[in-house]
Chain A
């Protein structure tokens, strides 16, 4: 059964720092991996989607990498801003569970001005 783990659970950094959020998954049979952002009390916004054949995706200050064989993904945020404060969720589309989206618990990020 696919399990997704995100480390750390919470992170606080000063504005301007570059930071890395980590995601690991137990079953490498995935279709894709997706990073979402969730603001307090709100729904999820998709940030980046990496297909299983890809190694990374970039969007603005965000870069997500995928190492399927080791079951790891990282989300790199460059030059962090207070507006980046949110919970970041990693989810894999699991190949062995009917394409179901399996989520990690998230990393709560706080960027201090």
Chain B
């Protein structure tokens, strides 16, 4: 399997649930990212990991908790979300978090919070 994969593809959860999104990259990259894409708004960067260390946290509420156990896997743990957190959550990876190359995106997880 190649590229960036995300599971699940769709998730519906209540505000009191706890769930996790998973991302896996098979590209040998060192950096991974979480983005949020809400309707009618630009993609927003949430977190950046480089070599399993978090290097960026864009003032994201603590109800979103990332985890990067190794350079190939990235999780986003969700708890006590709000309806406005409903969005498409995209994972991406790149060779490094610097300025040079392309980020490769996964297909996203469509999250609905009831």
A68 within 8 A of B: no
A98 near B102: Cβ-Cβ < 8 Å:
no
Cβ of A4 < 8 Å from any Cβ of B?
A: yes
For chain A, residues 60 to 113, give those with C-beta under 8 angstroms from any C-beta of chain B: 89, 91, 93, 95, 98-106
Number of interchain pairs (Cβ within 8 Å): 48
Interface size class of B (residues with CB under 8 A): 20 to 34
B69 shortest CB reach to chain A, Å: 22
Given contacts A41-B88, A43-B105, A100-B56, is CB(A95)–CB(B99) below 8 Å?
Answer: yes
**B79 / chain A contacts, CB cutoff of 8 Å:** none
Given the known A-B contacts A34-B102, A95-B99, A100-B56, are A44 and B90 also in contact in the complex, defined by CB atoms under 8 Å?
yes
A24 interfacial by beta-carbon distance below 8 Å: no
The proximity string for B residues 71-114 relative to A, scoring 1 for CB distances below 8 Å and 0 otherwise, is 00000000000000000101010000111111111111010000
A46 proximal to B (CB < 8 A): yes
Q: Contact residue range for chain A?
A: 20 to 34
A89–chain B nearest beta-carbon distance, Å: 7
Output the nearest chain B residue to A36 by Cβ-Cβ distance.
Answer: B105
Contact B42 A103 (CB under 8 A): yes
Nearest chain B residue, comparing its CB with the CB of A44: B105
| A99 and B88 contacting across the interface, CB-CB below 8 Å | no
